[in-house]
Copies of this chain bind each other. A is one copy, B any other.
Amino acid sequence: MAESMRGMKRTCRCAELSEKNIGEEVTMMGWVQKQRNKGGIIFVDMRDRSGILQVIFEDGEINEADFAKAEKLRSEFVIAVKGKVTARSGAVNENLATGAIELRAEELRVLSESDTPPFPIEADSKTKEELRLKYRYLDLRRPDLQRNLIMRSKVATLIRQFLADEGFLEIETPMLTKSTPEGARDYLVPSRVHPGTFYALPQSPQLFKQLLMCSGYDRYFQLARCFRDEDLRADRQPEFTQVDMELSFVDEDDVMDVNERLLQKLFKEILDVDIELPIQRMTWQEAMDRFGSDKPDLRFGMELKDVSEVVKGCGFGVFTGALENGGSVRGINAKGQGGMPRKKIDALVKFAKDFGAKGLAYLAINEDGTYKSSFAKFMTDDELKALVDAMEGEPGDLLLFAADKNKIVWDVLGNLRLEIAKNLDLLDKNVYKFLWVTEFPEFEYSEEQGRYLAMHHPFTMPFEDDIQYLESNPEKVRARAYDIVLNGTEIGGGSIRIHQDDVQEKMLRALGFTDEKAHEQFGFLLDAFKYGVPPHAGLAYGLDRLVMIMAHEDSIRDVIAFPKIKDASCLMTDAPNVVDDKQLEELSLEIAKSEQEQ
């Protein structure tokens, strides 16, 4: 039986009461966290989003009918209690904000009863994620998810306030827009009015925000939902939120300055962490050379060293072969890990192979100065000593080497470095290391497509000196792009944009667009560029990832209210689902025969 709250008015939330309120009559509403009957006195922990309040039902203080109701309370019942705030009669609970007080109930209403939930509502749930996602509305009651979503809300509010104060305008861009083949796969939306045609959901508001700069809005921002129908990878969501901004009449320093101050404010106000400004900058080339990654985690060292010069004449064919094929030999020094058991080293070799290495050469320096190594036998003592010296190897160290094309060497050692750090517990979530990575290559070559792709996107301004190579020597072209990296995660990225129609057309040609195709796809942007365009630049953060790191979570699903699982479905609503034939008819669509038959 559910009772009405008619005539009652809630005073405040549970944890908003404190010793200051002792003696006050209050009306509190919330959920029963647990109920205990201790010798005829009923103790109820009452919960809401603010926390827990202890409520005492004692016969005599409350009428019999209400006391009888209190006896029957169970977890997750929703109740309203009128009563008086008093100092806690028992021991003060230091773990609770309200641990020094209790509410002595004078009236109780049961606003809603509850079945026994399929899993307990508590922090650090051990319940399987699948079950939690099916009952997401219960999962979301858990204090850790509540803390995450409350933090996310605060982050969004702070970002918006900061950007508004800095003269940014929040402008909404369309969700039903045009499909463009560059980039990831689009989600499509069939048009009913124009049969056979489709809208696409935006992968980002990129073109629209650039047009807003053309239109003179000067500074734009939006917390924009973006969509990518990508193949399923761990911890990707088909829809995600971007903190998107664009600025006119600026260069890299302007963009970085405003964003550094934004991040500083955010981390101070949310986490009480001081970020020292300016944030360190590093070119893409240096990041790859030192960390084997364009998003280096700077919380620990273990940097890559290029030992190609040292090993170029050695007797180990794997090393010299890689060099002869235009590759390199690089290593990392896992300090103090020389005693790592063979089994664990084998696991690292397997890990390296997963990233494309043909193998992983290792050399452990025993405490007595001798070596345990997979390749020592192929090299002279002098060669080995030179190599160990180059790696600053000392007794007790473990040296790991990869020899291959640069791209593979970086990838293998960059990931190995992270894996070892993870195993050694070097990744302190309370340490925040920011880094700007700059001077990215404009293009990367796709073996699969047999052409160059834009590493950032086709609207990224090349370095002025490199524009001449756009068509003749794309590999040489550096992009005026910048990523902001936090603890090894790219939390945002952006670039100075091309604002000249001739440069933009060259760029599209370098990407393999015919002029006709370029105009079909981006005609409106190229047209806009004919009418006076300000130099402009922008940046976008992945809000989900940023909040995930701030909340010390390992999955973005833990900072999204209603996430989807790996196959892009929602376990709670069962979306996507089959629709009525009538709906398809209206859209002039048919399911392909091959699928119908399955």
Residues facing B in A148-206 (CB within 8 A) are: 149-150, 152-153, 156-157, 160-161, 164, 169-179, 181, 185-201
Kindly provide the distance from the CB of A534 to the nearest chain B CB, expressed in whole angstroms: 5
The answer to the question of A573 belonging to the interface, with a C-beta cut-off of 8 Å to chain B, is yes
- A352 surroundings in chain B (CB, below 8 A): none
Decide if A189 touches B187 in the complex (CB within 8 Å).
yes
Decide if A249 touches B196 in the complex (CB within 8 Å).
no
Q: Which residue of B lies closest to A117 (CB)?
A: B531
Decide if B587 touches A590 in the complex (CB within 8 Å).
no
Kindly provide the distance from the CB of A161 to the nearest chain B CB, expressed in whole angstroms: 7
Q: Report the Cα distance A412→B229, complex, angstroms.
A: 50
Q: Report the Cα distance A116→B504, complex, angstroms.
A: 20
Decide if B218 touches A48 in the complex (CB within 8 Å).
yes
Q: Which residue of B lies closest to A598 (CB)?
A: B195
The answer to the question of A105 belonging to the interface, with a C-beta cut-off of 8 Å to chain B, is no
Decide if B195 touches A591 in the complex (CB within 8 Å).
yes
Decide if B196 touches A591 in the complex (CB within 8 Å).
yes
- A478 surroundings in chain B (CB, below 8 A): none
Interface string of A354-377 (1 = CB under 8 A from B): 000000000000000000000000
- A546 surroundings in chain B (CB, below 8 A): none
Given A112-B532, A534-B112; A218-B117 close (CB under 8 Å): no
Binds B, one of A137-145, A292-300, A303-311: A137-145
Identify the interface centre among A76, A196, A576, A591: most chain B CB within 10 Å of its CB: A576
Decide if B192 touches A229 in the complex (CB within 8 Å).
yes
Q: Report the Cα distance A13→B216, complex, angstroms.
A: 11
- A77 surroundings in chain B (CB, below 8 A): 532
Kindly provide the distance from the CB of A169 to the nearest chain B CB, expressed in whole angstroms: 4
Q: Report the Cα distance A80→B248, complex, angstroms.
A: 12
Q: Which residue of B lies closest to A1 (CB)?
A: B500
Decide if B49 touches A218 in the complex (CB within 8 Å).
yes
Given A113-B532, A208-B562, A225-B225; A575-B176 close (CB under 8 Å): yes
Choose among B10, B31, B198, B534 the residue that contacts A576 (Cβ–Cβ < 8 A): B198
Kindly provide the distance from the CB of A328 to the nearest chain B CB, expressed in whole angstroms: 35
Given A179-B577, A534-B112; A157-B164 close (CB under 8 Å): yes
The answer to the question of A58 belonging to the interface, with a C-beta cut-off of 8 Å to chain B, is no
Choose among B140, B562, B590 the residue that contacts A590 (Cβ–Cβ < 8 A): B590
Choose among B29, B161, B176, B589 the residue that contacts A591 (Cβ–Cβ < 8 A): B589
- A171 surroundings in chain B (CB, below 8 A): 149, 152-153, 561
Counting every copy of the chain, the complex holds: 2
Identify the interface centre among A173, A186, A524, A577: most chain B CB within 10 Å of its CB: A577
Decide if A188 touches B524 in the complex (CB within 8 Å).
no
The answer to the question of A570 belonging to the interface, with a C-beta cut-off of 8 Å to chain B, is yes
Decide if B153 touches A191 in the complex (CB within 8 Å).
no
- A188 surroundings in chain B (CB, below 8 A): 189-190, 579, 583, 587
Q: Which residue of B lies closest to A253 (CB)?
A: B9
Kindly provide the distance from the CB of A146 to the nearest chain B CB, expressed in whole angstroms: 7
Q: Report the Cα distance A561→B238, complex, angstroms.
A: 26
Q: Report the Cα distance A111→B533, complex, angstroms.
A: 8
The answer to the question of A596 belonging to the interface, with a C-beta cut-off of 8 Å to chain B, is yes
Q: Report the Cα distance A212→B195, complex, angstroms.
A: 37
Kindly provide the distance from the CB of A249 to the nearest chain B CB, expressed in whole angstroms: 4
Q: Report the Cα distance A142→B212, complex, angstroms.
A: 12
- A177 surroundings in chain B (CB, below 8 A): 570, 573, 575
Residues facing B in A554-598 (CB within 8 A) are: 560-562, 564, 567-570, 572-580, 583, 585-596
The answer to the question of A535 belonging to the interface, with a C-beta cut-off of 8 Å to chain B, is yes
- A588 surroundings in chain B (CB, below 8 A): 591-592, 594-595
- A29 surroundings in chain B (CB, below 8 A): 248-249, 534
Q: Which residue of B lies closest to A561 (CB)?
A: B171
- A576 surroundings in chain B (CB, below 8 A): 176, 178, 189-191, 194, 197-199
The answer to the question of A2 belonging to the interface, with a C-beta cut-off of 8 Å to chain B, is yes
Kindly provide the distance from the CB of A214 to the nearest chain B CB, expressed in whole angstroms: 5
- A141 surroundings in chain B (CB, below 8 A): 215-216
A contact set with B: CB distance below 8 Å: 2, 4-6, 10, 13, 29-32, 47-49, 76-78, 80, 111-115, 117, 135-138, 140-141, 146, 149-150, 152-153, 156-157, 160-161, 164, 169-179, 181, 185-201, 208, 211-212, 214-218, 225, 227, 229, 232, 238-239, 241, 248-251, 464, 499-500, 524, 527-528, 530-535, 560-562, 564, 567-570, 572-580, 583, 585-596
6 more A-B residue pairs beyond the given contacts A137-B211, A175-B225, with a C-beta to C-beta distance below 8 A: A136-B215, A153-B164, A176-B187, A188-B189, A588-B592, A590-B593
Can you give 13 A-B contacts (C-beta < 8 A)? A30-B216, A47-B216, A135-B527, A137-B524, A141-B216, A146-B216, A146-B217, A152-B171, A157-B164, A175-B227, A176-B564, A179-B575, A196-B591
